Amino acid sequence: MYPLLETLDSPNDLRRLERKLLPQLAAELRAFLVESVSKTGGHLSSNLGTVELTIALHYVFNTPDDKLVWDVGHQTYAHKILTGRRKAMASLRMADGLSGFPKRSESQFDAFGTGHSSTSISAALGMAVAARLAGNGHRAVAIIGDGAMTGGMAFEALNNAGALDANMLVVLNDNDMSISTPVGALNNYLAKLMSGRFYAAMRRGSEKVLKGMPPVLEFAKRAEEHVKGMVTPGTLFEELGFNYIGPIDGHDLDTLVTTLHNIRELEGPQFLHIVTQKGKGYAHAEQDCVLYHGVSKFDPVAGIVPKPVTKKSYTHIFGDWLCDMAASDGRLVGITPAMCEGSGMVEFAEKFPQRYFDVGIAEQHALTFAAGLACDGYKPVVAIYSTFLQRAYDQLIHDIAIQNLPVLLAIDRGGLVGADGATHAGAFDLSFLRCVPNMTVMAPSDENECRQMLTTAYRMDTPTAVRYPRGSGTGAAVQKTLQTIAVGKAELRRQGERVAILAFGSMLAPALEAGTSLNATVVNMRFIKPLDTELILELARTHGLLVTIEENTVQGGAGSAVAECLALHGVTVPLLHLGLPDTFIEQGEPSKLLADCGLDATGIETSVRKRLSD
């Protein structure tokens, strides 16, 4: 079925192919991608768009000695297939299978592990400088999507790379036509010309001759900028010290291979701008690249058939609440760092476009932007994944908490996230949030409580965070009214004897199940900060063992907060802390991962009985 692709087990095999066969390889690789991802789920649109680029890079560069650093990582399936992992694609994003992102421990061809964005240029620059220090002649290539170029870190790296004059290539995969002018034969021709050694030598020679005549040199530079500016948007990158080439058609293999061959022989920082189409070659994905960005299993012929929604996810609960609260309060503004669909803000963006702000992949900016709005009387709600909030920790402390500004963080994907693995798990937010002064931190146990907590947090005039997991909860009925709950007050859900289980957020359901078997008291703690100190002290007085359970790392988490509370009041009682272990948890089925961590009902009961027997 894939006669050419199946003969390739490494980039060395690829480099032995005749160049005229590369378009056939691209067609087979694209068909294999659709077939493979339809069986496993994963990122599809972005990977279909980088097929030709991946082939050209491995065809021209001597990987793995030459380093390819892929930004974000959800555009690397073709890279995995061409680097000896074709047969393993059936295990993509599964436990003990292939990661959905580049991973150094998985392959020598994965030069740098990525999951978050805007890091590729910094990493590739480090590798380029390392090659210069070692004198080995290896090349470093950063492949960055135009979305990742909205991250400030990318521009910090560009600025540094130009100053260091390192031998590196940055490939901008412009897949939304957001930067480029129309691409055609003339642009492709000029790109080949400008990447050639003759052009580079002529340029250096001209600068040398004209150095003795500064006004003429300046005029020549300006003239070159204007001539190139007629067909390219590269002035910014030229000013940063890069030789800009493009934009070129990222699906034209002949142009890509020729241009990359030329660039590989050039010295100094090079910037290649290519234009690709998300979902290229698969009609369903071309028509709706957003729907096919991240997919579950589907029929490749029929495409994705929407499944009936049996119960709303926490993301949908937040989206509904956001619209309702915005309708009742004109001060509300919604902010997201490039996660409109993922954070459930599509309806809000349509209904309240003047109050919706997508700031791009720029989490640091998102929080300080929110702080500025809060300073002038608005009530910002920042919808952000737990794993991405980590990137804006300084802004949270310095710009929001110190100034005690009323910014609400709606934190999605708290806890384990399944197939996306360690790079996207929200394992640390309870730990790093609760230690920040002025913060109020809540974790709902079901969908209705999530809505109530969002209302409670919004109506406070201090920094707040509501942290909820991926997917749906218990299916609790959600009241449409905007009700609040008492700040810092827990909820006794089951009265038992001897053992008291203090459950935080998503862990209440398995705690109640285990509590029934153990005849234990079970408390829905609700608040990580402030804690219900009065209830904790009462439970310590009346029970022989306190068990804390959270879908967060045990170190410094909610359980640690309970221990600190008891220590502060001089109370000694046996404690058992259950939560995520001190390790990075890889991809897999969420329920199995939680069970492996002892965070299902059986695991909780087993841990408690063991402690009691000890």
Which residue in this structure is represented by tokens 């509904």?
A: 320
Integer CA distances (angstroms), 382 to 44, 70, 87, 252, 262, in order? 28, 28, 41, 40, 45
> What is the Cα–Cα distance from 244 to 53, expressed in whole angstroms?
18
> What is the Cα–Cα distance from 443 to 441, expressed in whole angstroms?
7
Alpha helices (H) in 459-557, listed in sequence order: 508-518, 533-542
Single-letter amino acid, residue 473? G
> What is the Cα–Cα distance from 186 to 258, expressed in whole angstroms?
15
List strands edge to edge, sheet with 545-553.
491-494, 521-524, 499-503, 545-553, 575-580
- b/e for 313-330, b at 16 or more Cβ within 10 A? bbbbbbbbbbbbbbeeee
Secondary structure (H, E, C), 237-292? HHHCCCEEEEEEECCCHHHHHHHHHHHHCCCCCEEEEEECCCCCCCHHHHHCCCCC
Helix, strand, coil percentages for the chain (3-state, nearest 5):
45, 15, 40
Q: Helices 22-40 and 253-264 meet at what angle, rounded to 10?
A: 100
Single-letter amino acid, residue 131? A
Whether residue 270 contacts residue 168, with contact meaning beta carbons closer than 8 Å, is answered with yes
- Give the DSSP H/E element, type plus range, for residue 491: strand 491-494
> What is the Cα–Cα distance from 356 to 354, expressed in whole angstroms?
6
Name the token pair of 357.
């702000």
Single-letter amino acid, residue 177? M
Catalytic residues: 278, 363, 391
Q: How many other CB atoms are found less than 10 A from the CB of residue 394?
A: 11
Whether residue 421 contacts residue 98, with contact meaning beta carbons closer than 8 Å, is answered with no
> What is the Cα–Cα distance from 275 to 67, expressed in whole angstroms?
22
> What is the Cα–Cα distance from 327 to 323, expressed in whole angstroms?
6
- Give the DSSP H/E element, type plus range, for residue 368: helix 363-375
Name the token pair of 46.
């972005």
* Nearest partner of 388 among 349, 343, 419, judged by Cα: 343
